[in-house]
A and B are shown apart, each in its own frame.
Chain A
Amino acid sequence: MADLEELYRQVILDHYRAPRHRGTLSGDHIHAEGLNPSCGDEFFLDLQIEDGVVTDIAINGQGCSISQASGSMMTEAILGKGVDEVRQVSGTFKVMMGIEEGDDPIDHERPGSVLGDLEALQGVRKFPVRIKCADLAWTTLDDALTQGE
């Protein structure tokens, strides 16, 4: 089952079972919630932005391995980056997943060089009904960034 192995790569299961930056933030921060009513997946995001830079991040919620791993990987991909760069990462991710149009942004000669662990989520593209799972964290991020404008 090559497709399944591709979908559930070790790195995805690792982020699912040991999510990074799980918790909540105290103090001044943006809070956004992503819900997928058809399947019940929940993703909660706390984001601290100081001088246009993501200085702290915390995630919470529950759902399938794809939605939760995507969120965990997202935290690593955007922490410490400027908001403009965060938007760029988000756009690259969405193109990689086929959610937005564009040329394949991934350098397949050098795996991980463009989006890091997130590149492991490419396998989801073969399972169209699961793409919305991978996207949940990122639509929540969009919401948070809009709030922060």
Chain B
Amino acid sequence: MTPLAWAFMLISIGAVVALLAWCFYKVLTAPPAE
């Protein structure tokens, strides 16, 4: 596997995992709606 393939794979998956984790953290820790 080439270094560029590693880079694209890790950045792409890292980006979606980070976005998902941040979103769920915000959703689960948000106060309930009024």
Partners in one complex: no
* A interface list, Cβ under 8 A from B: none
* B interface list, Cβ under 8 A from A: none
